Protein backbone atom coordinates (compact mmCIF):
# COMPACT_ATOMS: atom_id res chain seq x y z
CA UNK A 1 0.00 0.00 0.00
CA UNK A 2 2.86 2.39 0.80
CA UNK A 3 4.39 1.82 -2.65
CA UNK A 4 1.10 2.74 -4.32
CA UNK A 5 0.88 5.96 -2.30
CA UNK A 6 4.43 6.94 -3.21
CA UNK A 7 3.74 6.29 -6.91
CA UNK A 8 0.63 8.50 -6.84
CA UNK A 9 2.53 11.29 -5.10
CA UNK A 10 5.27 11.10 -7.73
CA UNK A 11 2.64 11.45 -10.45
CA UNK A 12 1.14 14.47 -8.67
CA UNK A 13 4.53 16.19 -8.56
CA UNK A 14 5.11 15.43 -12.22
CA UNK A 15 1.72 16.83 -13.27
CA UNK A 16 2.26 19.90 -11.08
CA UNK A 17 5.55 20.59 -12.88
CA UNK A 18 3.79 20.24 -16.23
CA UNK A 19 1.02 22.59 -15.09
CA UNK A 20 3.61 25.23 -14.15
CA UNK A 21 5.10 25.05 -17.65
CA UNK A 22 1.76 25.25 -19.45
CA UNK A 23 0.64 28.10 -17.19
CA UNK A 24 3.82 30.02 -17.98
CA UNK A 25 3.29 29.44 -21.71
CA UNK A 26 -0.30 30.66 -21.37
CA UNK A 27 0.80 33.88 -19.65
CA UNK A 28 3.49 34.52 -22.27
CA UNK A 29 0.98 34.03 -25.09
CA UNK A 30 -1.53 36.31 -23.31
CA UNK A 31 1.05 39.09 -23.15
CA UNK A 32 2.05 38.66 -26.80
CA UNK A 33 -1.43 38.45 -28.31
CA UNK A 34 -2.14 42.11 -27.46
CA UNK A 35 0.95 43.23 -29.37
CA UNK A 36 0.09 40.96 -32.30
CA UNK A 37 -3.43 42.41 -32.50
CA UNK A 38 -2.03 45.94 -32.37
CA UNK A 39 0.38 45.24 -35.24
CA UNK A 40 -2.47 43.75 -37.28
CA UNK A 41 -4.65 46.78 -36.57
CA UNK A 42 -1.84 49.24 -37.39
CA UNK A 43 -1.20 47.58 -40.77
CA UNK A 44 -4.81 47.89 -41.92
CA UNK A 45 -4.78 51.62 -42.89
CA UNK A 46 -1.84 51.12 -45.27
CA UNK A 47 -3.43 48.06 -46.87
CA UNK A 48 -6.73 49.91 -47.22
CA UNK A 49 -5.21 53.01 -48.79
CA UNK A 50 -3.00 51.17 -51.27
CA UNK A 51 -6.04 49.12 -52.28
CA UNK A 52 -8.00 52.33 -52.88
CA UNK A 53 -5.10 53.73 -54.91
CA UNK A 54 -4.98 50.65 -57.12
CA UNK A 55 -8.76 50.74 -57.55
CA UNK A 56 -8.57 54.42 -58.53
CA UNK A 57 -5.91 53.77 -61.16
CA UNK A 58 -7.83 50.81 -62.58
CA UNK A 59 -11.11 52.75 -62.61
CA UNK A 60 -9.52 55.53 -64.68
CA UNK A 61 -7.71 53.24 -67.11
CA UNK A 62 -9.47 52.19 -70.27
CA UNK A 63 -7.77 48.81 -70.59
CA UNK A 64 -5.71 47.25 -67.84
CA UNK A 65 -3.13 44.91 -69.28
CA UNK A 66 -0.49 44.15 -66.67
CA UNK A 67 1.50 40.91 -66.16
CA UNK A 68 0.15 40.62 -62.61
CA UNK A 69 -3.45 40.79 -63.83
CA UNK A 70 -3.08 38.79 -67.02
CA UNK A 71 -3.99 35.09 -66.63
CA UNK A 72 -1.80 32.56 -68.43
CA UNK A 73 -3.27 31.11 -71.62
CA UNK A 74 -2.52 27.51 -70.66
CA UNK A 75 -1.51 27.45 -66.97
CA UNK A 76 0.55 24.43 -65.99
CA UNK A 77 2.23 25.32 -62.69
CA UNK A 78 0.83 26.79 -59.49
CA UNK A 79 2.82 28.00 -56.51
CA UNK A 80 1.29 27.44 -53.06
CA UNK A 81 2.67 29.50 -50.18
CA UNK A 82 1.91 27.82 -46.82
CA UNK A 83 2.25 29.87 -43.63
CA UNK A 84 2.87 27.71 -40.54
CA UNK A 85 4.50 28.29 -37.15
CA UNK A 86 8.09 27.94 -36.01
CA UNK A 87 7.16 26.50 -32.62
CA UNK A 88 4.63 24.03 -31.31
CA UNK A 89 2.25 24.13 -28.33
CA UNK A 90 -0.44 25.77 -30.50
CA UNK A 91 -3.05 23.01 -30.74
CA UNK A 92 -4.37 22.28 -34.22
CA UNK A 93 -3.02 25.50 -35.77
CA UNK A 94 -0.51 23.83 -38.10
CA UNK A 95 -2.65 20.75 -38.73
CA UNK A 96 -5.53 22.90 -40.00
CA UNK A 97 -3.29 24.90 -42.35
CA UNK A 98 -1.58 21.81 -43.75
CA UNK A 99 -4.93 20.05 -44.20
CA UNK A 100 -6.25 23.04 -46.16
CA UNK A 101 -3.06 23.07 -48.24
CA UNK A 102 -3.52 19.39 -49.04
CA UNK A 103 -7.08 20.03 -50.18
CA UNK A 104 -5.88 22.88 -52.40
CA UNK A 105 -3.12 20.66 -53.80
CA UNK A 106 -5.62 17.96 -54.71
CA UNK A 107 -7.89 20.55 -56.35
CA UNK A 108 -5.11 22.08 -58.43
CA UNK A 109 -3.72 18.70 -59.48
CA UNK A 110 -7.23 17.73 -60.49
CA UNK A 111 -7.16 20.72 -62.85
CA UNK A 112 -3.93 19.44 -64.40
CA UNK A 113 -1.58 21.87 -62.63
CA UNK A 114 1.78 21.02 -61.11
CA UNK A 115 1.93 22.30 -57.52
CA UNK A 116 5.15 23.96 -56.33
CA UNK A 117 5.18 24.43 -52.52
CA UNK A 118 6.71 27.46 -50.79
CA UNK A 119 6.66 27.15 -47.00
CA UNK A 120 7.21 29.62 -44.16
CA UNK A 121 7.59 28.16 -40.65
CA UNK A 122 9.67 25.29 -39.27
CA UNK A 123 6.65 23.07 -38.63
CA UNK A 124 5.55 23.18 -42.26
CA UNK A 125 9.12 22.68 -43.47
CA UNK A 126 9.58 19.62 -41.24
CA UNK A 127 6.20 18.23 -42.39
CA UNK A 128 7.23 18.38 -46.05
CA UNK A 129 10.73 17.05 -45.45
CA UNK A 130 9.38 14.09 -43.48
CA UNK A 131 7.27 13.16 -46.52
CA UNK A 132 10.11 13.71 -48.95
CA UNK A 133 8.49 16.63 -50.76
CA UNK A 134 10.84 19.12 -52.37
CA UNK A 135 10.34 22.80 -51.53
CA UNK A 136 10.94 25.61 -53.99
CA UNK A 137 11.82 28.01 -51.14
CA UNK A 138 11.52 28.05 -47.37
CA UNK A 139 11.61 30.70 -44.65
CA UNK A 140 11.62 30.43 -40.85
CA UNK A 141 12.35 32.31 -37.65
CA UNK A 142 9.62 34.98 -37.77
CA UNK A 143 6.25 33.22 -37.62
CA UNK A 144 5.05 35.00 -34.44
CA UNK A 145 6.74 38.36 -35.11
CA UNK A 146 6.87 38.94 -38.89
CA UNK A 147 8.54 42.08 -40.19
CA UNK A 148 7.93 43.96 -43.40
CA UNK A 149 11.35 42.84 -44.59
CA UNK A 150 10.18 39.22 -44.33
CA UNK A 151 7.15 39.98 -46.50
CA UNK A 152 9.39 41.79 -49.00
CA UNK A 153 11.72 38.80 -49.25
CA UNK A 154 8.88 36.33 -49.82
CA UNK A 155 7.15 38.66 -52.29
CA UNK A 156 10.37 39.13 -54.27
CA UNK A 157 10.84 35.37 -54.57
CA UNK A 158 7.24 34.76 -55.64
CA UNK A 159 7.15 37.64 -58.14
CA UNK A 160 10.44 36.45 -59.64
CA UNK A 161 8.93 32.98 -60.17
CA UNK A 162 5.72 34.50 -61.55
CA UNK A 163 7.72 36.63 -63.97
CA UNK A 164 9.25 33.51 -65.54
CA UNK A 165 6.03 31.98 -66.79
CA UNK A 166 6.64 29.18 -69.23
CA UNK A 167 10.32 28.92 -68.26
CA UNK A 168 12.10 26.58 -65.81
CA UNK A 169 11.31 27.64 -62.25
CA UNK A 170 8.38 29.79 -63.33
CA UNK A 171 4.78 29.57 -62.10
CA UNK A 172 1.48 30.62 -63.66
CA UNK A 173 -0.53 31.09 -60.45
CA UNK A 174 0.24 31.90 -56.82
CA UNK A 175 -1.97 30.82 -53.94
CA UNK A 176 -1.44 31.44 -50.22
CA UNK A 177 -2.75 29.26 -47.38
CA UNK A 178 -2.78 30.84 -43.94
CA UNK A 179 -4.87 31.17 -40.79
CA UNK A 180 -7.23 34.12 -40.60
CA UNK A 181 -7.64 35.77 -37.20
CA UNK A 182 -11.36 36.12 -36.50
CA UNK A 183 -11.29 36.50 -32.72
CA UNK A 184 -9.43 35.25 -29.66
CA UNK A 185 -11.52 32.08 -29.78
CA UNK A 186 -11.84 31.60 -33.54
CA UNK A 187 -9.08 31.21 -36.14
CA UNK A 188 -9.86 29.81 -39.57
CA UNK A 189 -7.53 28.34 -42.20
CA UNK A 190 -8.24 30.03 -45.55
CA UNK A 191 -6.99 29.91 -49.15
CA UNK A 192 -6.48 33.05 -51.21
CA UNK A 193 -5.29 33.41 -54.80
CA UNK A 194 -2.54 35.99 -54.76
CA UNK A 195 -1.76 36.12 -58.49
CA UNK A 196 -2.99 36.77 -61.09
CA UNK A 197 -5.05 39.59 -59.60
CA UNK A 198 -8.70 39.51 -60.55
CA UNK A 199 -10.32 42.77 -61.68
CA UNK A 200 -14.09 42.95 -61.36
CA UNK A 201 -16.23 45.60 -63.01
CA UNK A 202 -19.23 46.79 -61.04
CA UNK A 203 -21.68 49.68 -60.98
CA UNK A 204 -22.01 49.58 -57.21
CA UNK A 205 -20.54 52.55 -55.31
CA UNK A 206 -17.35 51.78 -53.38
CA UNK A 207 -18.08 50.80 -49.76
CA UNK A 208 -15.31 53.13 -48.55
CA UNK A 209 -16.69 56.19 -50.31
CA UNK A 210 -16.03 57.93 -53.64
CA UNK A 211 -12.79 57.17 -55.42
CA UNK A 212 -10.08 59.79 -54.93
CA UNK A 213 -9.26 61.89 -57.97
CA UNK A 214 -5.61 61.55 -58.93
CA UNK A 215 -3.54 63.16 -61.66
CA UNK A 216 -1.22 60.51 -63.07
CA UNK A 217 2.27 61.38 -64.18
CA UNK A 218 3.61 60.11 -66.53
CA UNK A 219 0.68 57.71 -67.16
CA UNK A 220 -1.78 55.43 -65.33
CA UNK A 221 0.03 52.40 -66.73
CA UNK A 222 3.35 53.46 -65.21
CA UNK A 223 1.69 54.19 -61.89
CA UNK A 224 0.06 50.79 -61.96
CA UNK A 225 3.41 49.14 -62.67
CA UNK A 226 4.75 50.68 -59.47
CA UNK A 227 1.67 50.11 -57.32
CA UNK A 228 0.82 46.49 -58.06
CA UNK A 229 4.00 44.93 -56.59
CA UNK A 230 3.48 47.01 -53.43
CA UNK A 231 -0.14 45.91 -53.35
CA UNK A 232 0.86 42.23 -53.55
CA UNK A 233 3.46 42.80 -50.84
CA UNK A 234 0.91 44.47 -48.55
CA UNK A 235 -1.52 41.57 -48.99
CA UNK A 236 1.20 39.09 -48.13
CA UNK A 237 2.35 41.10 -45.11
CA UNK A 238 -1.24 41.25 -43.89
CA UNK A 239 -1.49 37.46 -44.25
CA UNK A 240 1.70 37.07 -42.18
CA UNK A 241 0.28 39.30 -39.44
CA UNK A 242 -3.02 37.39 -39.47
CA UNK A 243 -1.13 34.10 -39.18
CA UNK A 244 1.03 35.42 -36.31
CA UNK A 245 -1.98 36.62 -34.31
CA UNK A 246 -3.78 33.34 -34.96
CA UNK A 247 -0.74 31.31 -33.87
CA UNK A 248 -0.41 33.16 -30.56
CA UNK A 249 -4.15 32.97 -29.88
CA UNK A 250 -4.16 29.23 -30.65
CA UNK A 251 -1.15 28.72 -28.36
CA UNK A 252 -2.84 30.61 -25.53
CA UNK A 253 -6.02 28.55 -25.90
CA UNK A 254 -4.09 25.26 -26.11
CA UNK A 255 -1.97 26.07 -23.04
CA UNK A 256 -5.02 27.12 -21.04
CA UNK A 257 -6.72 23.85 -21.93
CA UNK A 258 -3.57 21.92 -20.96
CA UNK A 259 -3.36 23.77 -17.63
CA UNK A 260 -7.03 23.08 -16.87
CA UNK A 261 -6.58 19.39 -17.71
CA UNK A 262 -3.47 19.21 -15.51
CA UNK A 263 -5.31 20.78 -12.58
CA UNK A 264 -8.20 18.36 -13.04
CA UNK A 265 -5.78 15.43 -13.13
CA UNK A 266 -4.09 16.70 -9.96
CA UNK A 267 -7.47 16.72 -8.20
CA UNK A 268 -8.16 13.16 -9.31
CA UNK A 269 -4.71 11.98 -8.21
CA UNK A 270 -5.09 13.79 -4.88
CA UNK A 271 -8.34 11.96 -4.22
CA UNK A 272 -6.64 8.70 -5.20
CA UNK A 273 -3.75 9.48 -2.85
CA UNK A 274 -6.17 10.28 -0.03
CA UNK A 275 -7.97 6.98 -0.57
CA UNK A 276 -4.68 5.10 -0.55
CA UNK A 277 -3.60 6.91 2.62
CA UNK A 278 -6.93 6.19 4.32
CA UNK A 279 -6.68 2.54 3.34
CA UNK A 280 -3.14 2.45 4.73
CA UNK A 281 -4.28 4.03 8.01
CA UNK A 282 -7.21 1.61 8.22
CA UNK A 283 -4.87 -1.32 7.70
CA UNK A 284 -2.47 -0.05 10.38
CA UNK A 285 -5.33 0.37 12.87
CA UNK A 286 -6.62 -3.11 12.04
CA UNK A 287 -3.15 -4.54 12.66
CA UNK A 288 -2.86 -2.71 15.97
CA UNK A 289 -6.31 -3.84 17.10
CA UNK A 290 -5.61 -7.38 15.99
CA UNK A 291 -2.31 -7.40 17.86
CA UNK A 292 -3.96 -6.01 21.01
CA UNK A 293 -6.68 -8.65 20.88
CA UNK A 294 -4.15 -11.39 20.41
CA UNK A 295 -2.12 -10.11 23.37
CA UNK A 296 -5.25 -9.94 25.53
CA UNK A 297 -6.17 -13.48 24.63
CA UNK A 298 -2.67 -14.69 25.46
CA UNK A 299 -2.78 -12.91 28.83
CA UNK A 300 -6.10 -14.52 29.78
CA UNK A 301 -4.69 -17.93 29.01
From residue 248, give the alpha-carbon distance in Å to each of 18, 53, 113, 145, 241. Answer: 20, 32, 34, 10, 11
54 and 158 assigned to the same domain: yes
- Shared-domain flag, residues 266 and 240: no
Q: What is the CATH number of the domain that holds 283?
A: 1.10.287
Q: What is the CATH number of the domain that holds 173?
A: 3.40.1380.10
Pair 230, 283 in one domain: no
For residue 62, pLDDT beyond 60: no
pLDDT tens column, 234-260:
999 999 999 999 999 999 999 999 999
Instruction: Verify that 136 and 46 share a domain, yes or no.
Output: yes
Contact 228, 66 (CB under 8 A): yes
Q: What is the DSSP letter of 32?
A: H
Domain count, the chain: 2
Does 261 share its domain with 116? no
Same domain, 210 and 286: no
Do the beta carbons of residue 140 and residue 101 sit within 8 Å?
no
**Domain of 265, in residue numbers:** 2-23+255-300
DSSP secondary structure code for residue 113 in this structure: P
Residues 140 and 281 in one domain: no
pLDDT tens per residue across span 104-145: 999 999 999 999 999 999 999 999 999 999 999 999 999 989
Q: Do 116 and 126 share a domain, yes or no?
A: yes
124 shares a domain with 140? yes
Looking at the chain, the whole-number percentage of residues with pLDDT higher than 70 is 89
Amino acid sequence: MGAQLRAVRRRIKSVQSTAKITRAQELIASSRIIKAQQRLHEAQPYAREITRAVEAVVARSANVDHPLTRPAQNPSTAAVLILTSDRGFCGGFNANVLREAQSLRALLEGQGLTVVPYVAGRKGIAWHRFRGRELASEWSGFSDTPRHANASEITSTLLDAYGRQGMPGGVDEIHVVYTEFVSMLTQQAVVRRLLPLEIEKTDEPPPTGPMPIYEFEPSPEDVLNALLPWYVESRLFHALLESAASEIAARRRAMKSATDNANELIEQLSREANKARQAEITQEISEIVGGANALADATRE
